[in-house]
Amino acid sequence: MIERLLIANRGEIAVRVARTAKRMGIHVIAVYSDTDAAAMHVAVADEAVRIGPDAAAESYLNIDAVIAAARETRADAIHPGYGFLSENADFADACVAAEIRLVGPSADAMRAMGDKAASKEVMSKADVPLVPGYHGADQDPAMLAKQAAEIGFPVLIKASAGGGGRGMRIVESADAFDEALAAAQREARGAFGNDRVLIEKYLTTPRHIEVQVFGDDHGNVVHLFERDCSLQRRYQKVVEEAPAPGMRDERRAEIGAAAVAAARAIDYSGAGTVEFIVDATTDGANGPFYFMEMNTRLQVEHPVTEFITGLDLVEWQLLVANGEALPLEQGDISLKGHAIEARLYAEDPDRDFLPAPGHVVAFEVPEMGASVRIDTGVATGDDIAVSYDPMIAKVIAHGADRDGAIAALDGLLAALVCAGPVTNQAFLRRAITHPDFVCGAVDTGFIDRHRDALIPLRDGVPDGALAAVVARLLAQRARQAGDQASARGEANSPWAASDSWRANLQNAETLLFRDGESEVSVCVVHDADRVSLTLSGGQSVDLETGCDGWSAFVLGNIYFAVAAGSQIRLERIVAVDEASDRAGASGGLNAPMPGKVVRVMVAADEQVSRGQTLMVLEAMKMEHAITAPGDGKVAAVFFAEGDQVAEGAELLQLEPVED
């Protein structure tokens, strides 16, 4: 029986695993990097061990450090969570060598499914349907281009060794193939240390449907129904639900049986997910389905399966790792209702979902009930670190039917407060309440197709947001005045009051804020018994009643107004600060986020054209191209390949081309 469990992960999944393990009476051991010394997953554990500095390669991906931590704490089992070492066959071997149980499948199963090309050979022998494509070992670019032409454009280039959208490119024509291949191979090499790719026919109306499977060491394999993960950006999942909307019972049985066959083909033990691509062109979720890959671990979206089955999948993992048989047979597993999960990320939808690491000024979770759940490893005061994935929380809701689940999830997203980093919270609400999503018309092109509706342009700052920010500013000012008065021994004087009483000052003042590139002015009028605001548009708002559901938080000179999942960031403009900020301003191309320069594609004095890629940054496991906004000449390049850059750093300087 597992008695001491080391969780080789961080964030919400480490917290999630710890919750079940402690309920089962298991002693929980956390590991952490320097960044995570005070993290939630450390706090909830029974003990914790430092395993290295911030870089994942030196901490959470360091096999020797993890095994050493397990030995030091006398752990008899390791749960890898997902990501990091969860699908690393060498790590599985290291656990065996150290005589420590891994809560997961064997190294052989990981290797069989870890390489996309090899896994498709296994699935072909098991009669699991495959997308037409090339999965061979010959990686000569000319040969790959020839294979793509024979398959027929559009095609999809995919990294053979990885997932998560990295090393993946859609190619619409033969002319674009060579450049896309080079980019995919470069990204795959950086992310997985392996630049082998495979090429498949790209389906124009695909749905991403996966099946949760479970096996044990006694030859039992079951499926726990399917999940629809079609709502994606940059090939990465954003919203997942179970069961798949519109799928008929007959197709559910067929795709479940195919998933079980896939697991049996590799003698699978533990939790796994068999991912399929469905051609939804004519029959939605019931169209032809094809094997994509098998993830040999627990998935991020496992909570929706837990809601519809009433089962704890982490508990099942621990039981199987103990050598026990699966608790239920296939006929005993029933589907109840509908569940949807939304991934709350620190990312900016307005900037093509670029990661947006930053300080969490406030994270306030509403009261939970039996039908809603928030899995997170984040609390007020934490930082979303650039070194790791930008997911803040998983927001999950269950309903008797899909409409009920959507309504519950929307309400939960509206009530959740996350101030500080730019997030996708408002985007998620718009996505799950969009008419096409509500009626189940979802495929992997949903976000691009409805981008204008899902990411609308904001027309100024809402009156309520301004009122909330000003109210917070005045309250902060009054509190500071009171503290100063108390320090002078004047606690009973008007200086210690927290109302809007003002002495020796005019009854009106103008406050200035910066909203992106715009300035917003607010005239604050202090009357005897009320405070009112006159906004730049001329309208008057009563401070006491004008917040209209908005609340505000402050960090230094930055104010964050939040309401129903939306966030407005305003910077207080102070004359001295303003003059300082404008000193030394330049018009170069700046880094949109902190990251590492992986390619510099131009040199000084080189002429460039509009849209040309000049430099490539890598941040949070993704590559981001810096492109020329117009025709011109490179005046200077300020960074070299391998350099780390801060957000806002000037990367290159362009100048017009002389006629």
232 near 209, Cβ under 8 Å?
no
pLDDT at 629: 81
Which residue did the predictor score with more confidence, 161 or 407?
Answer: 407
247 near 286, Cβ under 8 Å?
yes
pLDDT at 621: 60
Residue 418 CA: distances (Å) to CA of 42, 377, 409: 21, 13, 16
Question: What is the arithmetic mean of pLDDT over 176-196?
Answer: 91
pLDDT at 659: 59
Considering the entire predicted model, what is its pTM?
0.81
The residue ranges of DSSP E strands in 470-565, in sequence order, are 508-515, 518-526, 531-535, 540-542, 551-555, 558-563
Question: What is the arithmetic mean of pLDDT over 314-324?
Answer: 97
Task: Indicate the pLDDT class of residue 539, thresholds 50, 70 and 90.
Answer: confident
Active site residues: 297
Range of weakest confidence among 92-106, 293-307, 359-373, 514-528: 514-528
Range of weakest confidence among 207-221, 256-270, 569-583, 615-629: 569-583
Q: How far apart are the first and last CA of the chain?
A: 79
Residues 340-369: tens digit of each pLDDT: 999 999 999 999 898 888 899 999 999 888
Structural domains of the chain, with CATH = 4-103 (3.40.50.20), 132-201 (3.30.1490.20), 463-582 (3.30.700), 589-655 (2.40.50.100)
Question: What is the arithmetic mean of pLDDT over 184-196?
Answer: 89
Which residue did the predictor score with more confidence, 10 or 136?
Answer: 10
Q: What percent of the chain has pLDDT over 90?
A: 65
Partners of 512 in the β-ladder: 521
Partners of 172 in the β-ladder: none
Angle, alpha carbons 578-583-585 (nearest 5°): 105
Residues 454-493: tens digit of each pLDDT: 999 988 899 899 999 998 998 888 787 766 666 666 655 5
pLDDT at 94: 97
**CA neighbor of 109 nearest in space, from 300, 320, 295:** 295
pLDDT at 587: 35
* Maximum separation of any 2 CA atoms in the chain, in Å: 86
**CA neighbor of 9 nearest in space, from 72, 71, 56:** 56
Residues 98-120: tens digit of each pLDDT: 999 999 999 999 999 988 778 88
Nearest-angstrom CA–CA distance, 399 and 407: 8
pLDDT at 580: 35
pLDDT at 506: 47
Question: What is the arithmetic mean of pLDDT over 632-648?
Answer: 86
Which residue did the predictor score with more confidence, 156 or 594?
Answer: 156
Over the range 241-273, which residues count as b (16 or more CB within 10 Å of their CB) and which as e? bbbbbbbeeebbeebbebbbbbbebbebbbbbb
pLDDT at 487: 63
Residues 57-88: tens digit of each pLDDT: 999 999 999 999 999 999 999 999 999 999 99
Angle of helix 116-125 relative to helix 107-114, nearest 10 degrees?
Answer: 100
Tell whether the torsion through CA atoms of 532, 533, 539 and 545 is positive or negative: negative
pLDDT at 492: 56
DSSP character string of 351-375: GTTEE--EE-SEEEPPPP-TTEEEE
pLDDT at 500: 45
